[in-house]
Structure 1
């Protein structure tokens, strides 16, 4: 499927998703805002209802308190005998008082033993002991002011509604306990009032003592209830003793409510008002229901239209998809052919190399082998390993995974030098012409890989001319890359190096395959097919491009484009690559290598050179060795690719720790090295020889000594 087709279907999918997600998001947002608004409105309603209930309860208890004060004045100074003698007129007076107080059931005057001297119900009062009632017992111990008791059931012969007592202590002139003045208050009076003001669905009002005893409740309950002091309400009352708001499951009826409470001035009573949370949710649902009623059908219609458009667009693309299937099958077969060619080429070349190594090793095992032949077989093994390393390097170059060592150099000077060498390489029957400008053309690339690419293009041109013809090498500056390039243009332009031959040319149908590894038109044994693939990989990894223009019978022109720079950058190392090998011993080297055979080879080599070696198999152990004795080692030689911490990370950790040790990296291939370089550390490519190992370590040691000498001079 073409990108435009995929994008159109993707856009329709996004639109379908948005047609559901956007209304859903808006609905969730509106529902959330409505939820908060509904709860805020409910809290305001609860607060208003509580204000009314609190004001009403305060007036009721103040009226009862005033009535008790009036009764106390009537009987002030009178003895129990005097009160009993005046029982009938006092009964009438109390009865009249109760008639003006609808919240009061009866009024009583008790003596010190708990027997009624006079009450508002009957005269004479029956001889019943009320000393076990809470409203009497509480006053016997001392004067506590006005006391509000628990809800009680009338004691026979008295009948009627339940009540709670509000009483005061009677005291003799000497302060001793004389009895109690008590008013029996009707809880149903409060409940009836609460029913009138709590008309909203889910309304709740209550009158609660400070110890948790429930005095009145709306909706009414048919049993005694006491809130647990250690429960949620008790803890809230302790934290906020005057007023507060909370959500609680009521022990009276098990209903969850949002409630607010407030204490009645100096009285040990709380007035509470609230709403069932289910009622609050019902309000919220009723508020958001219109959004669902109108929004859901509109959303469904929009989604359906988009789904229809998606289906029609998908059907329009199905035919194009079917056409592409045949093309994709062809491309797949071509990819498999290329992969098979690559695999077969690698296997063929490496099997040839391994055959030489195996045969040489077998011959070296013979006891009667003459010394000249032994040296010849050893040289064959060394030469074959070098060819294998070169083959691996060419493969990595094509894959753009080689570890480059870029430096700034003049391509013009390099080409002048190479043109002289190429005359010997490709033969005297090929005329070589170099067209190089006088001004320098600076590029930042791996000079060794650049020379290899030039040699590969020249050798390819020689073979195309069958060893006879004219080869022209041209260097020039260009402002842009070919149209086929995938790289962004360099800010300073590019340097183009062209190699033109007068050979047979390349057919147009083969131009797309000439850079494939192991693809070659030569006969078996005439070439590996990796030369042009190295040029391709080197150009791409260096930020450039390679282009070819060819016509059958008129030759070909291969052009290598590399980014141009304007200034020479300082080299990372002050020493030449051909520094002499280690000539003296005494150095202490920490070798970090997870492969036991490779690590032992490096240790044996350095030991023969007079070095003292410590071999560890991972970076963690290396850091432990450095922590134990930081000045013990003169150099760290580490592999790059290891389990856990890599060699580059180890080198960076050493630098962070402040150790100024030379560090040499060794790697056959590393993704990090191919993409980011060696981070300024010396690098030794695997496979390496003992001589190469000695040279690079000596180079690193000399660099350290030079740095110390410069610091001392300053």
Structure 2
């Protein structure tokens, strides 16, 4: 930034010198810049006008298309004789239709021989053959959809302005050609519209068929028979663009922007005469020339003032940047304070329960029933603390997920009863699940937690009464404006939770997923529920979006990548049971926190395990390499000073030790990003039952426990 400021000041000083020595050079440069700017501004003006006429023409032709469809519907299933018999009534209907559309001159229904069965002009229609008209003739060989004809003069006895036809084929029930329905459009309708918007000198507008034949122009060119081959080729190669052409009719060169109407063989054009563009530039340069000569005398003074002003602005910019840095620092500190304050509040509540239960357990002569109640309170509170930590890690996308392939619809259906219990009987629950499977690859437990958090959030928004709708479906891509790169090959599974509650103000959309942000009163929520949903979605490669309006409820939609339909067999969840005895199993415990390590070894020793505790990976490797003891399992923490648990496990495998390895971690950014790399993982805090079962699980996969090394 300071370098840019010094360069700008140096440039101003050079300009002060150049302003006295090179006025002519400055004028030439200014002329070139002005001409380029004038030309670019003209192009932008042309494209803005083109957008207007394109939108106008597209609406006109879409309206006529709908009108033709309506006419077709009116006469659908009617034979020619039935149409003739109802001609007065049909005439009035066509007349009303035409009266409602200023761009339409008339509407017609022709039989297969080109005779008018009914029209909006005359009732009954005269017996005149129209089979030679292009709007009829084009439909006889085959069904070509909507056809747009050339500009025509009305045929006697019909009078009035010129028109061009837009027509469709009439088909019988068996697909046979039975005639044509046609609407006559007024070129003057387009020309009047162009006259209103084309007030700039040299303006030009046109509607043309794809073959270059004009349908409407402003200003009208005499004897315009179409575009030259070069222009037609340019338009055929690109459906939209800017070209400079010289008319073969009036010899005027114009800068023209053109664009094809979607689904119609029609181009709209908007342009300016290049002479008008040059006139604008000359007017600009003449004003500069008039004031340029006397301005040269005072330019030096002006530049000097500009130099001083720039120096002042740079000083102000530097002060502003310092203030912005201070503000950003304050905002970061405020966010950090909010986060730590919320964590401290919730954890202090949990610690209060644990401390009170521990104090009560110390009381003498405590009845067994109360002692067990206090122990259960400590255990339950530890589980709540673990869930709070998991929610924080989910928001930060730092928990180590255990993904599996499962059917999101089946999982939602399985949670129906739990959600009904959570939200209460006064809330009606509607669950819409498709018949086809909706497989995703994610952490099933985190998915269920996210769904429950969204349901609880909806319950609170409805104050316990209303309708909760949960919908599961398949979508090909994320809705705009969120499009993070290429979508997954199979699209997304969308899980929507919709409530009929109070809704969310739009200015809060950017904050509802922040941790500890909540609109609830104190004591009614931590504000971590939606942040868990957000973190789980991001870490699973998905997205979560909200749509809401105050007073009209809210819809939270969780998008997760869909995978191949290979649902893994669901493993039954084991109920908590007694820990498994060690039966002399030898375990090497690697834990840098001595208190945690001792608690693990003491608990294992109570169960009959033989344990060896070391506090770092280096000592663990020495225990294995020395060979004084043989270990059945290595149980190691992940986050340790120096070599981590993952690095220790990799080194053990590199040294060809076959001893099974169990990792333990409460949080690791490496695990969150790379996973457990094939090793078994036990999440902290763990129970002694979970630890003993995990040790026996890995020991069963290695029936010959040995730490023998090829080096021994």
Shift of the alpha carbon at 1:405?
1.0
Shift of the alpha carbon at 1:367?
2.3
Shift of the alpha carbon at 1:369?
2.8
Shift of the alpha carbon at 1:355?
1.5
Which of 433, 458, 461 aligns to 1:461? It is 458
2:359 corresponds to 1:365: no
Shift of the alpha carbon at 1:325?
7.5
Instruction: Mark the runs of 5 or more structure 2 residues left unpaired by the alignment.
Output: 12-306, 707-712
What SS does structure 2 have at the residue aligned with 1:471?
A: strand
* CA displacement, residues 496-539 of structure 1 (integer Å, 9 cap, x when unaligned): 11111111000111111111111111111111111011111111
> Which structure 2 residues correspond to residues 3-402 of structure 1 after superposition, within 5 A?
333-402=330-399
Residue in structure 1 matched with residue 410 of structure 2 by the alignment: 413
Residue in structure 2 matched with residue 303 of structure 1 by the alignment: none
CA distance, structure 2, for counterparts of residue 546 and residue 349 of structure 1? 26
CA distance, structure 2, for counterparts of residue 611 and residue 406 of structure 1? 32
Residue in structure 2 matched with residue 493 of structure 1 by the alignment: 491
CA distance, structure 2, for counterparts of residue 410 and residue 639 of structure 1? 33
Query: Are 1:630 and 1:659, in contact at CA under 8 Å, matched by a contact in 2?
Result: no
Query: Are 1:575 and 1:703, in contact at CA under 8 Å, matched by a contact in 2?
Result: no
Residue in structure 2 matched with residue 695 of structure 1 by the alignment: 693
Residue in structure 1 matched with residue 671 of structure 2 by the alignment: 673
Instruction: Mark the runs of 5 or more structure 1 residues left unpaired by the alignment.
Output: 1-5, 17-309, 709-714
Residue in structure 2 matched with residue 510 of structure 1 by the alignment: 508
CA distance, structure 1, for counterparts of residue 331 and residue 483 of structure 2? 23
CA distance, structure 1, for counterparts of residue 436 and residue 311 of structure 2? 60
CA distance, structure 1, for counterparts of residue 311 and residue 548 of structure 2? 43
CA distance, structure 2, for counterparts of residue 330 and residue 402 of structure 1? 31
> Which structure 2 residues correspond to residues 562-641 of structure 1 after superposition, within 5 A?
562-568=560-566, 581-583=579-581, 585-629=583-627, 632-641=630-639
CA distance, structure 1, for counterparts of residue 594 and residue 320 of structure 2? 55
CA distance, structure 2, for counterparts of residue 319 and residue 443 of structure 1? 54
| Structure 1 residues 322 and 499: CA distance shift in structure 2, 3 A | farther
Query: Are 2:631 and 2:705, in contact at CA under 8 Å, matched by a contact in 1?
Result: no
Which of 644, 648, 651 aligns to 2:649? It is 651
What SS does structure 2 have at the residue aligned with 1:585?
A: coil
Query: Are 2:637 and 2:665, in contact at CA under 8 Å, matched by a contact in 1?
Result: yes
* CA displacement, residues 270-321 of structure 1 (integer Å, 9 cap, x when unaligned): xxxxxxxxxxxxxxxxxxxxxxxxxxxxxxxxxxxxxxxx999999998888
What SS does structure 1 have at the residue aligned with 2:390?
A: helix
Residue in structure 2 matched with residue 446 of structure 1 by the alignment: 443
Residue in structure 1 matched with residue 557 of structure 2 by the alignment: 559
Query: Are 2:581 and 2:609, in contact at CA under 8 Å, matched by a contact in 1?
Result: no
2:434 corresponds to 1:437: yes
Shift of the alpha carbon at 1:492?
2.5
User: Which stretch of structure 1 is more off in the superposition, 344-353 or 546-555?
Assistant: 344-353
| Structure 1 residues 420 and 328: CA distance shift in structure 2, 3 A | farther
Shift of the alpha carbon at 1:372?
2.4
CA distance, structure 2, for counterparts of residue 328 and residue 589 of structure 1? 53
CA distance, structure 1, for counterparts of residue 504 and residue 704 of structure 2? 54
The two structures have a TM-score, normalised by structure 1, of 0.52
Query: Are 1:487 and 1:544, in contact at CA under 8 Å, matched by a contact in 2?
Result: no
CA distance, structure 2, for counterparts of residue 343 and residue 612 of structure 1? 41
CA distance, structure 1, for counterparts of residue 459 and residue 705 of structure 2? 47
| Structure 1 residues 683 and 363: CA distance shift in structure 2, 3 A | same
Which of 445, 456, 467 aligns to 1:470? It is 467
Residue in structure 2 matched with residue 19 of structure 1 by the alignment: none
CA distance, structure 2, for counterparts of residue 707 and residue 598 of structure 1? 25
Query: Are 1:639 and 1:667, in contact at CA under 8 Å, matched by a contact in 2?
Result: yes
* CA displacement, residues 476-503 of structure 1 (integer Å, 9 cap, x when unaligned): 1222224235465323222111111111
What SS does structure 2 have at the residue aligned with 1:495?
A: strand
CA distance, structure 2, for counterparts of residue 387 and residue 574 of structure 1? 24
What SS does structure 1 have at the residue aligned with 2:415?
A: helix
| Structure 1 residues 426 and 707: CA distance shift in structure 2, 3 A | farther
What SS does structure 2 have at the residue aligned with 1:353?
A: helix
What SS does structure 2 have at the residue aligned with 1:460?
A: helix
Shift of the alpha carbon at 1:361?
1.9
* CA displacement, residues 401-445 of structure 1 (integer Å, 9 cap, x when unaligned): 111111111111111111232112211211111111111111111
Shift of the alpha carbon at 1:371?
2.7
Query: Are 1:579 and 1:695, in contact at CA under 8 Å, matched by a contact in 2?
Result: no
User: Which stretch of structure 1 is more off in the superposition, 696-705 or 344-353?
Assistant: 696-705
Query: Are 1:397 and 1:533, in contact at CA under 8 Å, matched by a contact in 2?
Result: yes
CA distance, structure 2, for counterparts of residue 631 and residue 316 of structure 1? 75
What SS does structure 2 have at the residue aligned with 1:540?
A: helix
What SS does structure 1 have at the residue aligned with 2:555?
A: strand
Shift of the alpha carbon at 1:329?
6.5
